[in-house]
Amino acid sequence: MNQLPSSKLAEPSLPAHLPDTADEAVFDTLNRLAEKPCVDLRSAPSVVDCRRAASLVPAMLSAGTEWEPAVGHATRLASVLPAAKSDDMDKALAITEMAKAFFEYPQTVAEWTASHLMASRRFRPVPADIHEAAKSRLVHLRAAAIVAERVISARQEAEVERLRLEAEAREEAFAKAEGRETPSERRARIASEARAAIRSPAA
């Protein structure tokens, strides 16, 4: 278990190190694809965007939250959002308990969670609210990274198939121009011969 360093209450912190709007849009798209049984490349992000997402997520989850920023997130929330009537915890204690919750998560996840709670809550969150939002964010990011790798693989396979079909089309055209049997005609002939062999009784 992490040992919490002693600290005076930090000044309210501002969100930092968060992905930009374009990155968030890619994460959202990848998560929608995660709900489908197969990858739909028509609505999938580009390979460039997927590679960025696949590399960005591990980097986002690598750095833990230091105690001072954790206290800063908690202080900001407690300074702006009033406590609910059912929340009778002393403000200083509430800040400490919220800070402990933020302290458990990667830096970018804690930052996103603090901003999310600030924008979505009417009252001061309790640690359970922080854990719920942070864990949801972790699932969101990890799913995005997994689907990004799948999209990259699917697009690479699609590109290989496209090149194969183009090469076959060129060969078809050359064969017709030279009066030779084309690849499609050869496949049809072989299939016909195979069917005939199956139908014919053994000698």
142 and 174 in a single domain? The answer is no
Whether 5 maps to a domain, the answer reads no
**C-alpha to C-alpha distance for 165 and 139, rounded to whole angstroms:** 39
Residue-level pLDDT at 202? 56
Tell me which residue range forms the domain holding 50. 21-157
129 and 172 in a single domain? The answer is no
176 and 111 in a single domain? The answer is no
How much of the chain, in percent, has pLDDT values that exceed 90? 52
114 and 181 in a single domain? The answer is no
70 and 141 in a single domain? The answer is yes
Mean pLDDT by 10 residues, the chain (203 residues): 42 45 88 84 90 91 91 94 86 94 94 94 94 94 93 92 90 88 87 83 55
Q: Note the pTM of the prediction, 2 decimals.
A: 0.71
Whether 194 maps to a domain, the answer reads yes
118 and 32 in a single domain? The answer is yes
**C-alpha to C-alpha distance for 87 and 163, rounded to whole angstroms:** 64
Q: Which class for 146: exposed (0-12), middle (13-18), buried (19 or more C-beta within 10 A)?
A: middle
Q: Do 112 and 14 touch, CB atoms closer than 8 A? A: no
Tokens read off for 100: 């402990």
Q: Do 29 and 45 touch, CB atoms closer than 8 A? A: yes
